[in-house]
Amino acid sequence: MMILNSELKPMFSLYCVDYAARFGEHSDDVMREYAKLLIHHKIGRIGLRRGINRLRLRASENKFTPNPAEFAELCKPTIQELGIPDLETATHEVREARTTWRHSKTPYPFSHDVCRFIDQRVGYDLYQTSEREWRQRASREYHYLVKQAVAGQLPSFRNALPHKSEPEDNRPMYERLGYKTLSREESRAVIDSVLKRKRTDNTDRGRVGTSRLGPGIAGSSNVSTTTEQMTGSKPE
């Protein structure tokens, strides 16, 4: 309140012909209303001085007292003062950034964080949507970000976390598939086990089961008796 009474009230009295007649008797209450709106818009001393300077400049065309909302707008910086490019330049930078990254994988030197945010949020859509739809999305993002920047609420830009690629696996394919590399002793034990199993199989295969030869052959050494039993007649 003290700053408004000492800096803003004299400017209103000097450059606004209607101020004294309209608000002279209630100037303290009026200044209190201006203070509330300036605090609401987070306008500090620098913004207040900006608004007073613009009040001087507009006096040649408009000599009436701005209401609190109008004066708050006078206190806000323009996009030129913030170094924000216009919409066409911002979208051009996004296109250039995408082209540069696709060909050389090098970051693009954006002129402002507003352009960086547009690239981060809708830059990839440049290859996924039509030209008309992409321009509409970029325009919405631009005006939203400009509004935040003018209000002093644009967040600091942070690059996305870099992709952490997994370390290259140089192991042989059989080890990556879960197989184990055997030592010399383990390999020898496996080979001996396989050879022993093969010898056992060959021995079992060479034996003839006596039950398969028919009655009388396995249990009798008398060939004639066996022949008689098989043919049903006695040999002459």
Look at the pTM and tell me if it is higher than 0.75: no
Same domain, 103 and 46: no
User: Where is the domain boundary, 55, 76, 97?
Assistant: 76
What pLDDT, on the 0 to 100 scale, is given for residue 191? 86
Crossing angle, helix 131-150 and helix 113-122, to 10 degrees? 140
Output the six-digit token pair for 144.
Answer: 């939203």
Residue 226 counted as domain residue: no
Same domain, 67 and 125: no
User: What are the helix (H) ranges across the chain?
Assistant: 2-3, 9-15, 19-23, 27-40, 45-58, 68-75, 79-82, 87-104, 113-122, 131-150, 173-176, 184-206, 223-231
Same domain, 64 and 91: no
Distance CA 219, CA 107 (A): 96
Residue 122 counted as domain residue: yes
Residue 215 counted as domain residue: no
Q: What are phi and psi of 107, to 5 degrees?
A: -70, 150
Distance CA 75, CA 98 (A): 36
Distance CA 23, CA 109 (A): 51
- 48 touches 121 (CB < 8 A): no
Residue 192 counted as domain residue: no
The predicted-structure confidence for 156-181, as pLDDT tens digits, reads as follows 776 554 445 556 666 777 676 777 77
- 57 touches 82 (CB < 8 A): no
Tally of CB atoms within 10 A around 135: 15
User: Where is the domain boundary, 120, 135, 150?
Assistant: 150
Same domain, 129 and 63: no
Give the angle 102-108-109 at the CA atoms, nearest 5°. 170
Residue 164 counted as domain residue: no
Question: Number of folded domains in the chain?
Answer: 2
Same domain, 8 and 57: yes
Same domain, 70 and 8: yes
Same domain, 54 and 115: no
Residue 169 counted as domain residue: no
Domain that holds residue 20: 2-76
Same domain, 102 and 136: yes
- 110 touches 97 (CB < 8 A): yes
- 85 touches 111 (CB < 8 A): yes
The predicted-structure confidence for 192-229, as pLDDT tens digits, reads as follows 888 888 888 777 666 555 555 555 444 444 544 544 55
Residue 178 counted as domain residue: no
Residue 56 counted as domain residue: yes
Q: Point out the residues of the chain with pLDDT beneath 70.
A: 1, 158-170, 174, 176, 204-236
Question: Quick one: DSSP state of residue 43?
Answer: -
